[in-house]
Amino acid sequence: MPVPTQRRLDLIDNADRDVLALSSVYPDGYVVETHSHQRIQLLHVKTGTMQLETQFGAWIVPPGFAAWIPANVPHQLRTINVTTHSLYFRAGAISQPPSRCQVVEVSPLLKELIDAAMLVPARYDEHARDGQLMKMLLHETVVQRVVPLHLPMPRDEQLAALCQAFFKAPTLASTPADWARRLHISERTFYRRFVAGTGISFVNWRQQACVLAAMARLSLGDSVTTVALDMGYESPSSFSTMFKKATGRPPNLYMRN
């Protein structure tokens, strides 16, 4: 799997300004292997869908949204025909830096600021127009609303393996009894172990896995009907109701145009 070139990582870590702006284009199915950088990253997905993974879980970043990635956090990226605009912030430049990965909305103002930043050179004049633009970004990025597009993963290796396998092909047909049997434990023990590992109930986690996996599939071009039936929902309408309740938006908004 590809990793960012050392030259690119050096550029990110050794930049001598508070903000560095870089753009990237990835084809379908491209995987950026686990890496980290010393700067805080705001990864804005312009087109396509990005899946961000760390040891603490997975996040889906739909088009028009962005993900915060704290400094020195190892992470992997899976892309679906993605174009990104990333901002890399020097430690200390942001007044309230994120302590963990999270997905945020991108306001119209922030979108325009990010687009403009892509034209700013790495060694911009801090006292001229480019410097003022980057200062505006420092203020605007921290007021974006966090959206719940996170799937927590347990540290327990056996349970994590089951969670990761499920996330690749989530279905309502997978029950707590199935998981308990695979782990050779009782259902009661499984419930306790799952909540202790993820912080949420199995039913809520399973639904969140379905929502996030559906976003990725819809962005690839699958229909709502196909996704709903594959995941074990009785009808496309029942799936759509669940999806909208969980995300605030109907699933067809995430379909590839």
Q: pLDDT tens digits, residue range 87-116?
A: 999 988 988 888 899 999 999 999 999 999
Q: Among 129, 147, 165, which residue terminates a domain? A: 147
Q: Among 147, 167, 192, which residue terminates a domain? A: 147
Question: Has residue 250 been placed in a domain?
Answer: yes
Q: Among 147, 168, 193, which residue terminates a domain? A: 147
SS3 220: helix
Separation between Cα atoms, residue 235 and residue 95, nearest integer Å: 47
Separation between Cα atoms, residue 159 and residue 164, nearest integer Å: 9
pTM: predicted TM-score of the whole model, two decimal places: 0.84
pLDDT of residue 257: 59
Confidence of residue 2 (pLDDT cuts 50, 70, 90): low
Q: How many independent structural domains does the chain possess?
A: 2
Domain shared by 59 and 137, yes or no = yes
pLDDT in tens, 119-172: 999 999 999 999 999 999 999 998 889 998 999 999 899 999 999 899 989 999
List C-alpha distances in Å: 148 to 1, 29, 65, 122, 245. 28, 24, 12, 33, 12
The parent domain of residue 208 ranges over 154-254
pLDDT of residue 1: 41
Q: Which amino acid is at 101?
A: C
Separation between Cα atoms, residue 182 and residue 223, nearest integer Å: 32
CA 131 to chain centre: 29
pLDDT in tens, 198-237: 999 999 999 999 999 999 889 888 999 999 999 999 999 9
Q: What angle do the packed helices 176-183 and 187-198 form, to 10 degrees?
A: 90
Domain shared by 139 and 60, yes or no = yes
Question: Has residue 1 been placed in a domain?
Answer: no
Output the average pLDDT for the chain.
92
- Sign of the torsion angle spanned by Cα atoms 4, 22, 142, 251: negative
Separation between Cα atoms, residue 107 and residue 118, nearest integer Å: 17
Domain shared by 43 and 142, yes or no = yes
* Environment class of 49 (CB within 10 Å of its CB; exposed 0-12, middle 13-18, buried 19+): buried
Domain shared by 11 and 129, yes or no = yes
Express as a percent the part of the chain with pLDDT over 70: 97
